[in-house]
Amino acid sequence: MPKFMSPQTALARRAEDPDAPIMARCEALKQLAHPPLSLLRRLLVETAKRAKPVPAKLKAIAALKYAHEVQLRKIGPAWKQRRTDDGPANALGI
């Protein structure tokens, strides 16, 4: 078990922290290269358990990241299949 948490975990916790400043939460979410879809869903969905609402700016960033991640996961298998195709090694066919 690692002694320190990974930077991605720290950024994800900062983005979800309702007591953190809004700009810090937005920057943390922007710095995550591939945020987990579960984190983005938690930021987007309104629940009765939430004490403070998610700020609109953070919700907008989460929606854009969610759309991007879903798109990447849809084209990911097709891209991998194209890469493993037994075609020529380069454009010249050499």
Which 3-state string (H, E, C) describes 28-90?
HHHHCCCCCHHHHHHHHCCCCCCCCCCCHHHHHHHHHHHHHHHHHHHHHHHHHHHHCCCCCCC
The pLDDT value given to residue 31: 97
Query: In this structure, is the dihedral angle defined by the CA atoms of residues 63, 65, 69 and 75, taken in order, positive or negative?
Result: positive
pLDDT in tens, the chain (94 residues): 678 999 999 999 999 999 999 999 999 999 999 999 999 999 999 988 889 999 999 999 999 999 999 999 888 777 666 666 566 667 676 6
- Residue 68 to residue 18: CA distance in whole angstroms: 24
Note the pTM of the prediction, 2 decimals.
0.78
pLDDT at 79: 67
